[in-house]
Structure 1
């Protein structure tokens, strides 16, 4: 897959960046704040949200940026699906607020339901995948699209929000029943369980855009790759 990261600017979508993990494989450091080639992983991940209407970072309040809201799942450290659930709820609140400010009819005051980009904060090159993921949603028969590398789905995806809400609600009900009580039931649920309830279009990651920073060895590799790319861009700004 070869994409032009700048093409995402012409698209309109909302975005959720998952940044609330423990960073246990990095010794417990705050993964979003780890610097790679001079910039934090979170800031590099936020490059993928260029052109987004609303952006939510699921993580501690210190990760908020101008124009970027930070929220946490309750209780924290609930895993990626709990983070997606919290992020989508925050996007819905932002949409409602924007509709109210625009003076929209109270019965339809939410802004339009736009595709939702979901990505982990430790995937610093995800911006290059956004145009292809959004293009895959042109197929009316899919609920979303995700990057796939070496046969494995990666945590870089776009979703139709209505389908995502239904899948999260279904998981929550199943999880609540399994635990023997009412509740969200999405805590500790794997992303593959969420995607199993959605019609996901695979988008091949032929360029390694989904490379992540799970370990310090991963960070070192990304430092090398992104550092070379940054030096090349400075000398050849085309």
Structure 2
């Protein structure tokens, strides 16, 4: 699978949870952000974007510009710490307490698979089925299943991410080619007049070719994120 870096985004406002430091909330006795960092313990480097009092040894910490500027600004700050020749990066939300190394390995393996024919960017918008694993251009809304046929081009995927049972992409539980993300950051910075504050992730990934993967492993879904107190309680039950 080769080497990869990891950028973990921990700067959200957690408005639905009263503005607490959500990634620091414990699940299974450990802060959620530490559980995510453990899932990528073999990544080099590991970068945490956001405020943190203490992090595991060897983890780099940086703040997005401006602080609280959202996931795209945070992703840009994390990417800036990677070597110029970095190849792959796991881009992850910090509130994924059920993420495992096995799930990361699954993503890396799918990114290494041979290319398949894809539909041109801007194709249909039918939801992907839970068993879907293919390539489709990134866009807003549900994922598009890849199709092949006369006139379709062939392009290697720019990244891979999980989709949930309803076919929704979990874009911040994925692995991406660093060059593709950096080009997307540059494009979006120009489009937004120099500021990435408040930019949505779907705008960053627009035009990228994404391989979508349904979780087929054992245990709870690794893309499960904790946006509410009830989500944290549910994750705690799964983590027992």
* TM-score class, shorter: 0.7 to 0.9
Matched with 1:130 is 104
Matched with 1:151 is 167
User: Displacement of 1:41 after TM fit?
Assistant: 0.4
Cα deviation, 1:142-194, whole Å, max 9, x if unaligned, reads 11101111211112011111111111100110011xxxxxx2x3211111122
User: Displacement of 1:214 after TM fit?
Assistant: 0.6
How many positions carry a matched residue from both structures?
193
Which sections of structure 1, spanning at least 5 residues, go unmatched? 1-9, 96-109, 177-182, 228-238
Confirm or deny: 8 A CA contact 2:65 2:197 kept in the other structure. no
| Alpha-carbon spacing, 1:118–1:63, altered in 2? closer, same or farther (3 Å) | farther
User: Structure 1 residue 174 and structure 2 residue 184: aligned?
Assistant: no
Give 3-state SS (helix, strand or coil) of 1:52's partner: coil
Cα deviation, 1:38-60, whole Å, max 9, x if unaligned, reads 11101111122121110100011
Q: In the TM superposition, what are the counterparts of 1:64-213 in structure 2 within 5 Å? A: 64-91=55-82, 95=83, 112-127=85-100, 128-138=102-112, 139=114, 141-149=156-164, 150-154=166-170, 155-176=172-193, 183=194, 185-206=195-216, 207-213=220-226
Give 3-state SS (helix, strand or coil) of 1:202's partner: strand
TM-score after normalising by structure 2: 0.76
Matched with 2:153 is none
Structure with the larger helix share: 1
CA distance in 2, matches of 1:35, 1:190: 27
TM-score after normalising by structure 1: 0.77
Give 3-state SS (helix, strand or coil) of 1:90's partner: coil
Which sections of structure 2, spanning at least 5 residues, go unmatched? 116-155
